[in-house]
Amino acid sequence: MIDPAGRVIMVSGANRGIGRAIALRLLRSGFQVSAGVRDPEQAPNDPNLRAFSYDANHIDQAQKWVDQTLATFGRIDGLVNAAGLSVRMPLLGSSDGPLFDSLDRMMQVNVKAPMAMIRATWSHLAASGSGRVVNVSSLSGKRVRNENIGYAMTKFALIALNQEVRRLGWAHGIRATALCPGFVDTDMTRDVAHVPRHEMSQPDDLAELVDVVMRLPNTAAISELLVNWRHEDLL
């Protein structure tokens, strides 16, 4: 296993939900964390964490966050793309707002922002020799089981991005993992009424998986982690 001491991990969406749980778990393991958040004052308080303003709606903020991380820590060893957005957009019927506006908003946050972050961190992850990328996707990126096809389309695209990071990064020691949970007990699922909260996956459990991925050696890479709260025949 890789020793986390001195290693720096960037985590987007670290103010709440899965991103916050991941940041806190990595800190407990001994990593240093650069948290990209909309409101730095709401980020976890820890001497090994620095919070920087980052909004996945604005691609031009990616390089600024990377530059600030390097100026503070001097290196980047890992990236967790945890910021995400779900807006209801079915194939047929009404959506939350204009149909393709909803899709564009999700593509921006769920696909374009992670791609921009990967591009901005690439040379530093390669310099690490054991760079790690975790893309928080979804089981909706592996199959379609509800009407929110727009969200599923963006998460399928994120899986493709994850595979390309693995292909291009392999020779440089960069390993990428797509984390694909079903319903998770976070703000994003607050409108899900048919599943009791206690039956959903918990952010802390997903954070444990990310911590393991970050510490695995180059010879034990995991491409995808499919995390079920219920039995699924094909997964």
pLDDT band of residue 194 (cuts 50, 70, 90) is confident
How many independent structural domains does the chain possess? 1
The model's pTM is 0.95
pLDDT in tens, 57-94: 999 999 999 999 999 999 999 999 999 999 989 999 87
Catalytic-labelled residue, pool 52, 73, 122, 151: 151
Of 62-66, 171-175, 231-235, which range is least confident?
A: 231-235
Residue 98 pLDDT > 90, yes or no? no
Question: Is 54 a catalytic site residue?
Answer: no
Write down the pLDDT at residue 186: 84
Phi and psi for 142 in degrees, rounded to 5? Answer: -120, -25
CATH number for position 167:
3.40.50.720
Nearest to 175 by CA among 141, 116, 215: 215
Does 23 fall in a domain? yes
Does 235 fall in a domain? no
Does 1 fall in a domain? no
- Please provide the DSSP assignment of 96-120 as one string: SSSHHHHHHHHHIIIIIHHHHHHHH
Report the pLDDT averaged over residues 146-157: 95
pLDDT in tens, 117-127: 999 999 999 99
Q: Are strands 49-53 and 224-227 parallel, antiparallel or unpaired?
A: unpaired
What residue numbers bound the domain in which 55 lies? 8-227
Measured distance CA(83)–CA(207) in Å, rounded = 14
Nearest to 177 by CA among 192, 163, 190: 163
Does 32 fall in a domain? yes
pLDDT band of residue 35 (cuts 50, 70, 90) is very high
Does 232 fall in a domain? no
Does 119 fall in a domain? yes
Does 20 fall in a domain? yes
Does 3 fall in a domain? no
